[in-house]
Every structure is written in C-alpha cells, then in structure tokens.
Amino acid sequence: MKLAFNQATTLENSTLEKDLELCEQQGYDYIEIRTMDKLPEYLETNTMADLKNFFDTHQLKPLALNALVFFNNRDEEGHQEIIQEFKAMLVTAQELNVPYIVAVPLVTKTKFHKQTIQQDCVAVLREMSDLAKASGVKIALEFVGHPECTVNTFGQAYDIIEAVDRENVGVVFDCFHFHAMGSNIADLERAKGDKIFILHMDDTEDFPIGFLTDDDRVWPGHGAIDLETHLKTLRKIGFKGVASVELFRPEYYQMSAEEVIRKAKDTTREVLQAYY
C-alpha cells in the first residue's frame, strides 16, 4: 500500500519545504498539503512553480489539498466564500496535479437536524462536484469524530456521499474519527471500497467516546483503536487507496521533524503490513 504524510503530524515543528525534503528521504509516496497554513507560508518565499518543479523531479507526489473547512450549513455569504475558496483550490490542484481536495464539515455549537445537515451537504457537494468534473479532481468528505461536528460518524458521511451519487465524491476514512464517536463497523462493512478515497492512519489514548480530541492521537499501533478490525474490513470491501498518517500530538511537536516523520512511517508500516 502506498504511504502518505499528512502535514498535521509536524504542524508546529516543520515547514512544507522541510516536510517535502524529509518525506522524500524517508521514501513516502505522497504528501497531504495543508492549505490553511503550510502552503501560504511556503509561498512567502517560494512560488507555485517551485513546488510543481519539486513534484516533477522527485518521487514524492501530492495526494490531497487539506482542507476546505466548514463547507456546509453556512449562510449565503459564507456559502459563496466556500465556493470561491473551492474554485481557488481547484486551480492549485490542477497546477500541481493533486488528485483530491479534502472537505471538512462544519463544527459548531448550533444544533441542526440531521436531515438539514444531509440536505445541505448533498447540495454543496453536488455543486462542487460539477465545478470539479472537468478537472478530474475528486472531493473527499472527512467526517470529524467530535460531538460538535455536523457530520461526525462514518455512517452519516457515507449516507451523504451515497445521496450525492457522483463518481468524483467519496469519503476519508480516519481511524481516529471513526473510533472517537463510536462509528459502527457495520456501516463500513456495507461500504464500497472505491468510495473511500483516503485512509488516515492514527491511534489514540483510551478516553471515553465523545471526550477525545486530536491532541489524544498517538503513533499507529500504540493506542486503543481496534486497527485490526478497521484494516481487515477495509481489505474485505476492496479498499486499495493510499494510507496517510495524520497525528496532532503536542509532545510530537517537541521532537525533531525528522524523527517524527521517520517514526510515523515505521509505526504505520508495522500496522499495515499484516493486511496490505
């Protein structure tokens, strides 16, 4: 299985330029580029042409632009801002030959009925699907395992992309998010492997459902998530995509970026090798 590095893993102790260099050295196949912070920081001293040249001349390739955040259940002004942001991300994705844009649902204390959430997610994802169709870029919906996220279980996310019913719209399967809100393995068993675009590999400390936060993530295989069941089921339903390691551990930010990138690869490979 191809392996990617998500820049959240070195969010506070590295840059895009350094991550590119270290991921290339460590033999990663792909990188997920953080568009909220790391890409703008890179462009302060480099150009998009520089980034394209790196990917054109190295083994490491871009997997996803991560991420278009809070895309659903916005007011009209917010919706138009999201669409303009998505259009700009499409331009970047085409320029760098990035296959996926990750879309993250709204996190809010405001309560919406599930039907309202689904209807709006479907409408916005179809609108973005139409915009992306000619480019070949695909949209990966990432549910977030937190009580205040409008889409916080795998089953809910999969129901949404089934209703969208577009070839270029699928989901991100994140092991942490699946565990954090107690997603049902039966929902994964009924899914189609080719509708899962990206696998996010991670693990977590053993806190109760609903209390977990990103800071609780640990190296894959070093926590409480039933990764064996996740990976066996993904293999069973025919998932053949890329595994991307994504950690937000504050103590890992105190380590050198080189050590984190190496350790992330080693622990992820160790977990994956029994199944892929």
Say which CATH number the domain at 65 has.
Answer: 3.20.20.150
| Gap between the Cα atoms of 123 and 125, Å rounded | 6
φ, ψ of residue 239 to 5 degrees: the values are -70, 130
- 261 is written with which tokens? 């990138």
The residue behind tokens 């990103």 is 214
- 93 is written with which tokens? 């994705």
Which pLDDT value is given to residue 10?
98
φ, ψ of residue 34 to 5 degrees: the values are -80, 115
- Residues contacting residue 158 through CB under 8 Å, at least 6 positions apart: 171, 187, 190, 191, 195
> Which domain, by its residues, includes 181?
3-273
DSSP tag of 104? E
Distance of CA 77 to the CA centre of its chain: 26
| Gap between the Cα atoms of 258 and 45, Å rounded | 22
H helices of the chain, in order, are 16-26, 38-42, 48-57, 76-96, 114-132, 154-164, 175-180, 185-189, 227-236, 257-272
Tell me which residue of 97, 93, 101 sits closest to 198, measured CA to CA.
101
Which pLDDT value is given to residue 234?
98
Which pLDDT value is given to residue 131?
98
- Is the dihedral angle over the CA atoms 145, 147, 149, 151 positive or is it negative? positive
- Please tell me the total count of domains within the chain: 1
- Tens of pLDDT, residues 101-121: 999 999 999 999 999 999 999
Which pLDDT value is given to residue 48?
98
| Gap between the Cα atoms of 117 and 125, Å rounded | 12
- 123 is written with which tokens? 């409408």
Which residues lie across from 103 on neighbouring strands? 68, 141
- Measured over all CA atoms, what is the biggest interatomic distance in the chain, rounded to whole angstroms? 49
Question: Within the chain, which residues score under 70 in pLDDT?
Answer: none
- Residues contacting residue 130 through CB under 8 Å, at least 6 positions apart: none
Q: Which three-class secondary structure state does DSSP give residue 97?
A: coil
The three-state (H, E, C) secondary structure of 107-151, written as one string: ECCCCCCHHHHHHHHHHHHHHHHHHHHHHCCEEEEECCCCCCECC
Contact 127, 119 (CB under 8 A): no
Q: Which three-class secondary structure state does DSSP give residue 11?
A: coil
- 201 is written with which tokens? 């590999």
